[in-house]
Every structure is written in C-alpha cells, then in structure tokens.
C-alpha cells in the first residue's frame, strides 16, 4: 500500500493496545517500517484562531535538507518522490520509498500566523498519534508547550540499517522561519 492509498476514513482509534511514549524515548519501527505509517497531530480543544500546520523535513546526515523540495507541507504535499504525503493534520510516510541519501525525517507542527501570541497555549492536550495499517500503535502527549510556536514532534531516522523513532516534543518560541533555516531551507 502506498502513501496515496490509505484514506482518512479508514483510520481506527479503537485499538486498546496503544503504547504511550514519552519525550526523549527512542523506539524501533522495524515492525511497521514496511507499511504506510500515518502520523497525526490532534488536540482536545483548540481556539478558533489557532490554525496548526504540519511539516516534514527530509534531512541528510548533516541535518540539512538537500534542497527546498525536501520540506513537505499542506499545499506542497509531495514535491519529489512517493515517500511522504500530507492530508490535513495527517502525515503519511512510506519508509521503503525514502531516498537513500535521506537519513532522518523531522515531523514538525507550527501554529500559523506571525504573531508570537499564536502558539500552542491556544490548545489543550495536544498529542501525536502514530498509526500503521489504519490502527493507532503509539501515542505521544505533547507537554510544556506554553508560548511555543513551532515544535519538532518526532524524528524518524536510520540507524544501522533500520528505522527508529525519537520522540522530541520540543520547539521554538520564534516563527517557523527559525526552524526552516536551522534545517537549511532558504526562507525569503
């Protein structure tokens, strides 16, 4: 199944075997690396003026993008390759299709708007859900985000031939521009 074949309507949240993960935890994705992985941001409440956008950065071993096509976001869902697709609050990743020169994927979220008051304090109980085959496998509660405008939720990276996931959950009080420039994206 490719990243383009799993519709949002087929996602199930009734899995009682969801593993709750903590900031800083690293886990192997071997059991699901051959399948489509969906990563979803959600929250229990969001003020109407809080618009949250997802971003994925394809990074080389130096922590930088190859070019601006290595940032995927809503409206620029898949500039090159068939490894990542965006669908509203959900990122679909097909790890077997990630180009060999890409060592890490940084999954990030930002509260839209230039005002620094537009930040994650406008939400309640933000969380990341990791799904495979339409079922939730892992959940990561995002905490301590008051005043944070942009977060690196998690990173998926290659380590000794296998894919692993690092739960980051920390961010920037600055605008998205700081994050992009840190990853080598030219922002004008």
Q: What digits encode the pLDDT tens for the residues 158-175?
A: 999 899 999 999 888 877
Mean pLDDT score, 101-124: 89
Supply the mean pLDDT for the chain: 86
Contacts of 75 (CB under 8 A, 6+ apart): none
**Residue of higher predicted confidence among 64 and 117:** 64
Q: Contact, 44 vs 124, CB < 8 A?
A: yes
Beta-strand runs (E) in 98-143: 104-111, 123-124, 127-132, 135-141
Q: 16 to each of 32, 75, 87, 139, 165, how far by Cα in Å?
A: 18, 34, 25, 12, 21
Position 131 pLDDT exceeds 90: yes
Quickly list H helices, 99-184.
176-182
Per-residue model confidence as pLDDT tens digits over 15-65 = 568 999 999 999 999 988 888 999 999 999 988 777 888 999 999 999 999
Handedness of CA 146, 147, 150, 151 (dihedral sign): negative
Average pLDDT over residues 132-151: 92
Q: What are the structural domains of the chain?
A: 8-182 (2.60.60.30)
Distances (CA, A) of 90 to 74, 93, 160, 178: 10, 10, 28, 23
């Amino acid at each position: 199944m490719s990243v383009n074949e799993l519709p949002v309507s087929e996602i199930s949240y009734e899995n009682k075997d969801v593993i709750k993960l903590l900031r800083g935890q690293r886990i192997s994705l071997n059991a699901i690396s051959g399948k489509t992985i969906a990563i979803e941001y959600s929250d229990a409440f969001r003020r109407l003026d809080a618009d949250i956008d997802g971003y994925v950065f394809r990074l080389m071993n130096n922590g930088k993008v190859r070019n601006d096509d290595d940032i995927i976001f809503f409206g620029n869902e898949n500039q090159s390759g068939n490894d990542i697709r965006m669908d509203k609050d959900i990122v679909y990743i097909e790890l077997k299709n990630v180009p060999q020169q890409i060592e890490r994927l940084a999954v990030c979220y930002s509260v839209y708007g230039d005002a620094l008051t537009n930040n994650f304090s406008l939400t309640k109980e933000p969380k990341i859900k990791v799904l495979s085959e339409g079922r939730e496998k892992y959940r990561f509660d995002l905490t301590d985000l008051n005043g944070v405008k942009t977060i690196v939720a998690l990173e998926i990276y290659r380590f000794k031939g296998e894919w692993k996931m690092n739960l980051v959950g920390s961010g920037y009080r600055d605008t998205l521009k700081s994050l992009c420039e840190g990853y080598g994206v030219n922002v004008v």
